[in-house]
Structure 1
Amino acid sequence: MSILPENLARYQKFLSFMLKYWNSDLLNETASNAMDEETARSFQDYEQTPEELVEDLKQMGPTYIKLGQLLSTRPDLLPDRYLEALSSLQDDLPTIPYAKVQEIIENELGIKISKSFNSFEEEPLASASIGQVHLAELRSGKTVAVKVQRPGIRKKFMDDLDTLEEMADLAVKHTEVGKKYGFNDVLAELRRIMLHELDYLREANNLVTLGINLKDYRRLIVPQPIPDYTTSRVLTMEYVKGKKITSVSPLKKTENDYLPLVDELIEAYLKQIVSDGFVHADPHPGNIHLLENEKIALMDLGMVAQFSKQMKEHLLRLLLGLSKNDGEEIADILLNMSDLTDHVTEKEFRREISIMVQESSNSTAKDMQTGKLLIQMNRSAAMNGIHLPVEVNILGKILLNMDQIIAFLAPEYDLREAVRKYMSKLLQNKMVNELKPEEIFSVLLDSKKLVENLPDRLDKITENLARNNFRLQIDAIDEKRFTDGFQKVANRITLGLIIAAMIMGAAMLMSVPSPFTIFGYPGLAIIFFMLAAVAGIYLSYTILFKDE
């Protein structure tokens, strides 16, 4: 670790935060949870509230805010209330002076603001950790939103990440808790996310991709970028006038029926998850805006998730299981998509999943149970030696945010019924797509390859059979463990025979007179009795408490 003077402020900030939480009940509970200790208490109220933790992370700066958002996907470590608080963690930093904004834009675009825009508002519409947004009008008369990256923010993020990684390396190297937490993995994921969010060209591409994927949803809008006015530090996109979806007034909610809007929003996210595999991964209410024309705009695509074909299949089956409230099927799906440790307790996991599903089976949107249910399942998996893929965490976070939005707009909405309906529709579309000529052609090519190779492979098999070179390798049991077990049984029997012989010999020696006595009895016989007793007690202890 290179603790240089210019780094002291960062170390001091980090250490002051850790000193506050180091001996807290929250961290102790989390550490016990990570170590699977039997002494871990049930999650309850702690000295530091979720709101206080959120405020402390805000004070630490943008890197720690992003870290808090990332930790909101780790239900194996934190209680539900903290996960909810962290999942909605948003920053509110001082604005960048207009002179600096003008300098950044002109350097990036290579042209004066006055020549690029008819007008450019000096006061920002919004300000966040990475950048701030200004309203402007292009020479064509089109109104746009211009997102400008904060000066020096890349270096600040990288410096903070370097500090965190140095501390994480020490924790992983010297503590079991650090290894169990997977600190290095968390920070590697944070670095990947930050590098993506700092590249506005990538975000512009994300906007284009999502816009194409959701083009059939007339109530949803994805603001599109203006390529000629976009660089890695400046993102210019279509301006949509609206407000945070959870800030709609009660009167407006009474006057409008938002069920069709909610239906379309849910269907669009299901399509992203199980059909496209390209998902807006941060749909908190601040990134979902309700427009004046009663449409919804999906904002801020710096963070997206991409699911493989196999993962889409798993998530499709998982959502279907949730929609049917089938705990046994859900447990099967989660086990099939997970990595199992040597200490897995599958029976207990299945029991807990069934109980969770049963308890939440009649919930409505106002109960906000779907996202919480996945988070609880994730925690149960961690406690039972099951490592669920990170995509399940992402899905849980998305549904947690969806629950919040739906509960606000349509409290009685039945999300699981909607999932069941849309899953049937998507399955039908999926089957139709798989019957397209290109899909059939792909299958035919695979079949052609199999037919071409089959004669050669059959020839090799028959040739090996004729020469008696054909071998089958079967991994049925662990041979060493099997033979070790037999050896242990043989050792136990041998020791038992020796103990019995010593007792019998001692009994016979009791009748033989001897000048050497112990407690008035022949000394040699008593010694044999004592040795047999000690050996017998040791053998009984190892059989009862040590043997698997």
Structure 2
Amino acid sequence: MLWQAIGAARDLSRVHEIASVLIHYGFSDLVRRVGLGKVLERAGRVLHWRTPEEFAHLDPPERVRRALEELGPTFIKLGQVLAARVDLFPPEWIAEFGKLQDAAPAAPFDHIRAQLTEDLGQAPEAVFAELEVEPLAAASLAQVHRARLADGRTVVLKVRRPGIRPLVEADLHLLARLAELLEAEASELRRYRPREVVREFTLSLRRELDFAAECRNAERIAANFADHPEVVIPAIHWNWCGERLNVQDYVEGIAGRNLAAVDAAGLDRKLLARRGAAAVLKMMLEDGLFHADPHPGNVFYLAGNRIAFIDFGMVGRLSEERRHEVAVMLFGLVSGDSEAVADVLLEWRSGDEGDSAADPERLRRDIDAFVDQYKGVPLKRLDLGAMLSDLMALLREHGLALPPELSLLVKAFITLEGMGRQLDPDFDIAAEARPLLQQVLLAHRSPAAAARRGWRSLGDALELLAGLPQDLGSLLRAGRRGRLRLQIDVVSLAQAVDQLDRAISRMTIGIVTAALIIGTAILMTVVRDPALAGLRTFGLLGFLGTVLGGLWVLLSIWRSGRR
């Protein structure tokens, strides 16, 4: 399997680099267990297995974070995705992943000019009245340049780095193979669901590489806020946008991190906190398309206490049914309805937890105890972000994981409350969310919504009935041709059959060994049996057979006990 991984990546040097970095940060045991070291040594690559003393005292989360930083853009992006999996990783890991900053040295403008000319259809100087060759910011996938249009409007150009996609795709292929190896060889890492995380990360990163998708996300969210002048989404200039280029209005405002400038500009912090919370909650619960990374770097404060959001490369999507479930869960937390919270969380199970998943009744009892401790607490003293963090810890304890879009929502919700409390220490997100939660719940129960769900169910039923004759015909034809098979896979039954098979094998060998003992005793009394070293030959052979059979039975029992 490992050779397939290397063949898929087509880059033995990259495999060597990954293995070397992991060993450097103290993960040599992991490298050995997945077989990377053995294969690289066969290929003539020498690995130094000693961990430097400077990293020996670091905690595992910090060592992982440093290793991801050293491995480059794809792995930094992976760490940023892991920072959203609050349902899989405890707070100390999430905090370390949150430190990963996607920054990189800017590429000289001459290196991107040819690609920019190709995407614009003509030379940049022919399109823009002014273009700053020094970038405003540079990250691993793109860099941003400011420009001015002929009509005087200031815009920014987000340009994808030339040649970055093949490098990212090679790393993604290698990550997929390594995730398979981790699940197969490192049992203690299975609860982190490496294959699921890598699948989610691959989809997210490929969407992020497509700047046209980011432009579409921005336009959809801008349309949702068309009647909200207090929320600003930069306009997209589609004449020049594409997969590798995003041209949008420049936002002239105060960065979300610069609270001193907010005070100096005379803006109302409390109003900004409420408006920001209302905007993100509307995205989540009303629109179903939300900014999945609303950290201070993606938020700007404008004159008139307006708020601007930028960078829609990472968004979350929630269906109408999901939004209703989120509203039920959050309202259950706020109102102390533990039964509703438990029902939703059990519904959200990914379905592949296996034996690690807890008993539903035990989960209900734990959730009831969790929610009960907040009953009677005034709404303004209720820290909803902390409640969600504690709830995720409870899910981890029970071996449950959220679907990816919901883990993004929880992370965005926690980030949102943190930003609100930075602006206003008395910020109460529970009070801000409650009216909208009630509105979503009432809308779900409205006659129009019920009728819409009814028509949808009726359409599904009619479609099923319409296809039933064809499906039955296919089933009968398969039966006539002898191709109809029924496969039932019962895991517990398979394990019982396997144990029974091993027990019967041991019993058979034990019976044969006992028969050999009796036969050997009889043969030793036969005078005509030729002697070898003073012992009867056939008796000696029978004795050796009994010893081997007995050792096999003892070894089998010992190995079974270890399993």
Q: TM-score normalized by structure 2?
A: 0.69
Query: 2:405 is matched by which residue type in structure 1?
Result: E
Query: 2:388 pairs with 356, 374, 378, which one?
Result: 374
Deviations 1:428-449 (A, max 9, x none): 55666x638xx85885797799
Query: 1:10 is matched by which residue type in structure 2?
Result: R
1:284 equivalenced with 2:295 (yes/no): yes
Partner of 1:130: 141
CA distance in 2, matches of 1:390, 1:262: 27
Post-superposition offset of 1:366: 10
Deviations 1:406-426 (A, max 9, x none): 111011111111111222244
1:413 equivalenced with 2:417 (yes/no): no
CA distance in 1, matches of 2:460, 2:416: 46
CA distance in 2, matches of 1:22, 1:255: 51
Partner of 1:210: 221
Post-superposition offset of 1:256: 3.6
CA distance 1:105–1:443, change in 2 (3 Å) = same
2:292–2:315 Cα contact (<8 Å) kept: yes
CA distance in 1, matches of 2:271, 2:99: 25
CA distance in 1, matches of 2:459, 2:201: 45
2:25–2:63 Cα contact (<8 Å) kept: no
Query: 1:435 pairs with 448, 451, 454, which one?
Result: 448
Partner of 1:15: 19
1:70 equivalenced with 2:84 (yes/no): no
1:224–1:238 Cα contact (<8 Å) kept: yes
Q: Percent identity?
A: 29
Query: 1:395 is matched by which residue type in structure 2?
Result: L
Partner of 2:324: 313
Map 1:339-358; keep pairs closer than 5 Å: 339=351, 341=354, 344-357=358-371
Map 1:140-539; keep pairs closer than 5 Å: 140-177=151-188, 179-249=190-260, 252=263, 255-338=266-349, 339=351, 341=354, 344-357=358-371, 362=377, 369-428=383-442, 435=448, 443=454
CA distance 1:139–1:178, change in 2 (3 Å) = same
Partner of 1:118: 129
Post-superposition offset of 1:170: 2.4
Q: TM-score normalized by structure 1?
A: 0.70
Query: 1:241 is matched by which residue type in structure 2?
Result: E
CA distance in 1, matches of 2:299, 2:264: 16
1:225–1:237 Cα contact (<8 Å) kept: yes
Post-superposition offset of 1:202: 0.7
Partner of 1:538: none
Partner of 1:101: 112
Deviations 1:474-506 (A, max 9, x none): xxxx9x99xx9xxxxxxxxxxxxxxxxxxxxxx
Partner of 2:507: none
CA distance 1:22–1:218, change in 2 (3 Å) = same
1:262–1:406 Cα contact (<8 Å) kept: yes
Indicate the larger mover: 67-76 or 296-305: 67-76
Post-superposition offset of 1:178: 5.1
CA distance in 1, matches of 2:30, 2:424: 34
Segments of structure 2 that go 5 or more residues without pairing to the other structure are 32-56, 466-489, 497-560
Alpha carbon RMSD of aligned pairs, Å?
3.8
- Counterpart secondary structure, 1:249: helix
- Counterpart secondary structure, 2:22: helix
CA distance in 1, matches of 2:280, 2:308: 13
Query: 1:14 is matched by which residue type in structure 2?
Result: I
CA distance 1:88–1:328, change in 2 (3 Å) = farther
Post-superposition offset of 1:192: 0.7
Query: 2:448 is matched by which residue type in structure 1?
Result: L
CA distance in 2, matches of 1:17, 1:366: 46
2:25–2:67 Cα contact (<8 Å) kept: no
CA distance in 2, matches of 1:253, 1:308: 41
Query: 2:393 is matched by which residue type in structure 1?
Result: R
Post-superposition offset of 1:110: 1.4
1:145–1:239 Cα contact (<8 Å) kept: yes
Post-superposition offset of 1:158: 1.1
Aligned residues: 439
CA distance 1:26–1:406, change in 2 (3 Å) = farther
1:217–1:268 Cα contact (<8 Å) kept: no
CA distance in 1, matches of 2:29, 2:194: 20
Indicate the larger mover: 387-396 or 113-122: 387-396
Partner of 2:53: none
CA distance 1:123–1:49, change in 2 (3 Å) = farther
- Counterpart secondary structure, 2:176: helix
Post-superposition offset of 1:302: 0.8
Post-superposition offset of 1:238: 1.1
Post-superposition offset of 1:236: 0.1
Deviations 1:453-489 (A, max 9, x none): 99xxxxxxxxxxxxxxxxxxxxxxx9x99xx9xxxxx
CA distance in 2, matches of 1:378, 1:67: 20
Post-superposition offset of 1:281: 1.1
Query: 1:17 is matched by which residue type in structure 2?
Result: V
Indicate the larger mover: 182-191 or 147-156: 182-191
Post-superposition offset of 1:190: 1.2
- Counterpart secondary structure, 2:11: helix
Query: 2:432 is matched by which residue type in structure 1?
Result: A
CA distance in 1, matches of 2:381, 2:96: 18
CA distance 1:16–1:289, change in 2 (3 Å) = farther
CA distance in 1, matches of 2:204, 2:236: 21
Post-superposition offset of 1:191: 1.1
CA distance in 1, matches of 2:426, 2:379: 6
Query: 1:203 is matched by which residue type in structure 2?
Result: E
CA distance 1:385–1:358, change in 2 (3 Å) = same
